[in-house]
Amino acid sequence: MGLSKYLKDKGAIYEFGDYYKSYKDEIIEILEYYRDKSMKVAIWGGGLKGTAFLNVIDSKGKYISYVTDMNKQLYGTMATPRHRVISIDDVLQAAPDVIIIMSAVHYADNYAILKEKGYNGIILDLDAIIENKADPQTIIDGKAYDINLSHNYNLEKIHVHILDILKEIDRICKKHNITYFLSAGTALGAIRHQGFIPWDDDADIGMLREDFERFRLVAAEELGKGYYYQRMGKGSRFYRNFDQIGKYNTAFVLYRLKDLKIHHGLHVDVFPFDFVPEDYKKREELVKEVQRLRTKLSRKLLPHAVTTKNPWKRLIINHERYRLKFIPLRLLHRKMEATLTRYQGKEEQYVADLLTHYKKTMYFKKSDILPVQYVPFEDTSLPVPGNADAYLTMMYGDYMTPPPEGKRNQRHRLILLSYDEAYDKDKKWFGGRSEK
């Protein structure tokens, strides 16, 4: 094992270990109840997070009967000396009474898989339980579903504000003859719901790189009163290589970003679509290089949460941040921009949003994106890729079939949502402005 991987793995185990220690007594109370009732418990997550959990909570193998993971390479390995990782099918054959899903990021997908496979036992979202400091009795009484909904928002209000932003973007683009299109879930909502996906709480648009750069030149000056334009630049620590149009005097503050000097309002993400090579190997190399740079940018500005007072553990957990401390942010941004635009002007037929959070590499024929077509969206009409079927099929497969109910939820960890007031730190950093 190389030093970098060792430090990364060790840091993750330290970080997650402290995380589970913060709620250890409550977790054990829940697990002891299940044990006393002769209920078998499995965890879904056999990697670093699962290993940290087992070391903190069940080092003697008293509570957890089975461990599974989506990564087939882990099957047969020992998460701890007392816990072997097995396949989900083997776990379901053993019919545990409770399955604890370790990661909120994968909760919706794993929940849907379990339901599709006919599992009818108790499914717990451990991150939701810990983040909400749930009363163990709530879980014991079978009210875990209420915990999953604890961050329930008024989505209709969110949609009203986001629609205002989309209309403002549309106005500017029409004025300057800039082509854009709804992308990802926002495009899906336009086609399947003629508006927002009912359970969605954000919006994305895309532009080919040439239009994206033109939009950057005019957007900040053209935006109407009450809107802000956010990109990496002086006075802000916004580290993304896409941009945002947001509303002053609103707040949508994610826990992991709460201390980052950026605007935290309700917003629309504006993604550049860059040319990518048709050759599979070259395309994958490009994607991996972008992902590596994206990780560096994130690690530089967003430290892992640290509760331990042990200086060695603190160093290990955030070793990547310390290593990147002396590399200028602008240098990383310039390197990312050069990588994203490597094939610009080379007459490639394919384009991609290389900054997407989706794990699957998705690329599209330029001729399937342009020319765009306007379709009904809420009380107006907005553009989507010209061949929306090809675009959405690449993104989602059978896109007209809504996902199982377990996947119809948002897993943002919010600390503040406001429709009429800015985040306090925004007021301090940016003067609480309500206009440009």
Confidence of residue 3 (pLDDT cuts 50, 70, 90): very low
Q: Would residue 435 count as lying in a domain?
A: no
Q: Point out the domain boundary residue: 93, 113, 148.
A: 148
Whole-angstrom Cα distance, residue 77 to residue 263? 44
Q: Would residue 383 count as lying in a domain?
A: yes
Q: Are residues 181 and 92 in the same domain?
A: no
pLDDT at 28 over 70: yes
CATH of the domain at 78: 3.40.50.720
pLDDT in tens, 399-435: 898 876 655 666 566 788 999 999 999 998 887 555 5
Q: Are residues 112 and 181 in the same domain?
A: no
Q: Are residues 139 and 213 in the same domain?
A: no
Q: Are residues 83 and 208 in the same domain?
A: no
Give how many domains the chain has, as a whole number: 2
Q: Would you tell me how many other CB atoms lie within 10 Å of the CB of residue 320?
A: 19
Q: Point out the domain boundary residue: 148, 164, 188.
A: 148
Q: Are residues 386 and 317 in the same domain?
A: yes
Q: Would residue 61 count as lying in a domain?
A: yes
Q: Would residue 230 count as lying in a domain?
A: yes
Q: Would residue 397 count as lying in a domain?
A: yes
Q: Taking residues 248-262, what's their average pLDDT? A: 90
Of all residues in the chain, the percent with pLDDT exceeding 90 is: 55
Q: Point out the domain boundary residue: 118, 148, 178.
A: 148
Q: Are residues 200 and 83 in the same domain?
A: no
- Rounded mean pLDDT of the chain? 86
Read out DSSP for 239-302? --SSEEEEETT-EEEEGGGTTSSS--SSEEEEEEEEEE-SSHHHHHHHHHHHHHHHHHHHHHH-
pLDDT of res. 10:
43
Q: Are residues 139 and 214 in the same domain?
A: no
What pTM value is reported for the model?
Answer: 0.78
Q: Are residues 208 and 274 in the same domain?
A: yes
Q: Are residues 59 and 137 in the same domain?
A: yes
Asked if 322 and 315 count as a contact pair (C-beta separation under 8 A), the reply is: yes
Read out DSSP for 86-104? E-HHHHHHH--SEEEE--H
- DSSP-derived letter for residue 402 is P
Q: Which residues pair with 374 in a beta bridge?
A: 383
Q: Are residues 169 and 299 in the same domain?
A: yes
pLDDT in tens, 94-115: 999 999 998 877 787 788 788 8
Confidence of residue 149 (pLDDT cuts 50, 70, 90): very low
Q: Are residues 216 and 132 in the same domain?
A: no
Asked if 321 and 239 count as a contact pair (C-beta separation under 8 A), the reply is: no
Q: Are residues 79 and 176 in the same domain?
A: no
Q: Would residue 379 count as lying in a domain?
A: yes
Find the domain containing 210 and state its range.
Answer: 155-430
Q: Which helix (H) or strand (E) holds 17?
A: helix 3-21
pLDDT of res. 406:
54
In one-letter notation, the amino acid at residue 51 is T
Q: Would residue 436 count as lying in a domain?
A: no
pLDDT in tens, 326-382: 778 888 899 999 999 999 988 789 999 999 877 677 899 999 999 999 999 999 999
Whole-angstrom Cα distance, residue 241 to residue 232? 7
